[in-house]
Amino acid sequence: MAPGGSTCREVTESHRSIVDYDITTERSESNCSTATSTVGFGGKLGLHQNSGVYELLECPVCSNLMYPPIHQCPNGHTLCSNCKTRVRNCCPTCRNDLGNIRCLALEKVAESLDLPCKYQSLGCHDIFPYYSKLKHEQHCQFRPYNCPYAGSECSVTGDIPTLVAHLKDDHKVDMHDGCTFNHRYVKSNPHEVENATWMLTVFNCFGRQFCLHFEAFQLGTAPMYMAFLRFMGDDNEAKKFSYSLEVGANGRKLTWQGIPRSIRDSHRKVRDSQDGLIIQRSLALYFSGGDRQELKLRVTGRISKEE
Ligand SMILES: [Zn+2]
Ligand SMILES: [Zn+2]
Ligand SMILES: [Zn+2]
Ligand SMILES: [Zn+2]
């Protein structure tokens, strides 16, 4: 124990401290093991010759890469700013008081590194200065998509072919080939509008996939139904398509003309922005015919490609 250092709890090894501080959930996706295969360029430090430097930049507590401010204890043990706020001023390695010491030298070393995008294994071959990497990864076109299924919270992520197979196999979603559709939505007790969602339908059209959502929700106090289309791909590609939806009966109809939203936007976000065909319940029941006790809506639509 260093003179004057106060004793903290019985934490001696860094891997032990991960358990003690309960931060294992912080390890997220930043698995950077792919980085070791990269070749540096442009006069900056090449990573393959500098994996020692790279290791120094891994937080010894959570194993994530460290970004400024990088902290250190009076004995020089480093840790990331996330972990610093969690360890209550106690160095996880030597148990001395942490204080508020920045490790400027390591921050400077990081500046000189080039690192590959963490989605390298998914097809991104870009290499970034250390401090630009995080920003790129938030928008990298190769980052995995979330499962677009809306009925339950699903944590599956992947590229589009993976998710199409997942929707088919695990959610038993209907797949349709073609760019026009004619779909019936039925509910025997339409007065229960507890954020009901109907089975997603996926369309194969122009060689791409689109998800047709239909759901009930409360808009303020008014019960509504909403149909909208999402595109299985990025926003810049979604904009190349448009779609129309139509619902009606007895000589009346509602139509909607829209641009499919990328599944990068959650179905909830799209719903809350009301970017789709919205049908008030009274009108939906009128369109259903009969005695208004049952919802029976026929939604037709078409997906088009803008030239
Ligand atoms: Zn950390
Ligand atoms: Zn220490
Ligand atoms: Zn990338
Ligand atoms: Zn899923």
- Tokens describing residue 31: 């698995």
Q: Which residue has the higher pLDDT, 32 or 45?
A: 45
pLDDT at 31 over 90: no
Question: Could you tell me the residue range of the domain that residue 157 belongs to?
Answer: 145-305
Query: Per-residue pLDDT tens for 238-263?
Result: 999 999 999 999 899 999 999 999 99
Q: 256 and 158 in one domain?
A: yes
Arithmetic mean of pLDDT over the chain: 82
Single residue among 83, 107, 139 that ends a domain in this structure: 139
C-alpha span between 149 and 147 (Å, rounded): 6
Burial of 184 (C-beta count, 10 Å sphere; 0-12/13-18/19+)? exposed
Q: 294 and 280 in one domain?
A: yes
Q: 21 and 100 in one domain?
A: yes
Closest listed ligand to the CA of 1: 2
Q: Which residue has the higher pLDDT, 106 or 21?
A: 106
Single residue among 139, 163, 181 that ends a domain in this structure: 139
How far is ligand 1, taken at its centre, from the CA of residue 99, in Å? 16
Q: 207 and 84 in one domain?
A: no
Q: 164 and 83 in one domain?
A: no
pLDDT at 116 over 60: yes
Query: With bands split at pLDDT 50, 70 and 90, how would you rate the model's confidence at 290?
Result: confident
C-alpha span between 260 and 122 (Å, rounded): 25
Q: 151 and 99 in one domain?
A: no
For residue 9, being part of any structural domain is answered with: no
How many structural domains comprise the chain?
Answer: 2
Q: Does this model's pTM top 0.75? A: no
Q: 272 and 154 in one domain?
A: yes
Q: 128 and 99 in one domain?
A: yes
What's 49's domain CATH number?
3.30.40.10
How far is ligand 4, taken at its centre, from the CA of residue 159, in Å? 12
Query: Per-residue pLDDT tens for 144-171?
Result: 999 999 766 789 999 999 999 999 999 9
Q: 182 and 241 in one domain?
A: yes
What's 256's domain CATH number?
2.60.210.10
Four-point Cα dihedral 90, 96, 101, 104, nearest 10: -100
For residue 174, being part of any structural domain is answered with: yes
How far is ligand 4, taken at its centre, from the CA of residue 201, in Å? 13
Q: What is the pLDDT of residue 45?
A: 46
How far is ligand 3, taken at its centre, from the CA of residue 127, in Å? 8
How far is ligand 1, taken at its centre, from the CA of residue 132, in Å? 19
Single residue among 108, 139, 170 that ends a domain in this structure: 139
How far is ligand 1, taken at its centre, from the CA of residue 141, in Å? 27
Query: Per-residue pLDDT tens for 64-104?
Result: 889 889 999 999 999 999 999 999 899 999 999 999 999 99
Query: Per-residue pLDDT tens for 179-226?
Result: 999 988 888 776 665 667 787 899 999 999 999 999 888 888 888 999
- Closest C-alpha among 69, 91, 103 to residue 20: 91
Q: 283 and 158 in one domain?
A: yes
Closest listed ligand to the CA of 126: 3
